[in-house]
Amino acid sequence: MPLALLLIAGGFLGLLPILGFWMVPVGLLLLAGDVPFLRKPAMRALAAVQRWWDRYSRRRDGAGAAMRERDGRDRAAG
């Protein structure tokens, strides 16, 4: 729990080098492991990020396959 609080406090000093705003969500996630009423919102947030990542990676992989297919046809025609 002290690490989580230090990360949250350090995140508010995000304009300084090394410390950054990334520390706030990491600290909140660590704090959610210790504070029961924060567990459910943290799990919902992680599930939403996972769904976003899955959609993003499917879209990225699909675009890559379409581009590879198009490049293969261009080379065969040229």
- pLDDT for 77 beyond 90: no
pLDDT band (50, 70, 90) for residue 11:
confident
CA distance 43 to 41: 5
Q: Where are the alpha helices (DSSP H) in 1-78?
A: 2-11, 23-34, 36-77
pLDDT in tens, 20-67: 777 888 888 888 888 888 899 999 999 999 999 999 988 888 766 655
CA distance 40 to 61: 31
CA distance 6 to 47: 25
Based on the number of CB atoms within 10 Å of its own CB, is 23 exposed (0-12), middle (13-18) or buried (19 or more)? buried
CA distance 59 to 65: 10
pLDDT in tens, 15-32: 777 667 778 888 888 888
- pLDDT for 10 beyond 60: yes
- Whole-number pLDDT of residue 73: 59
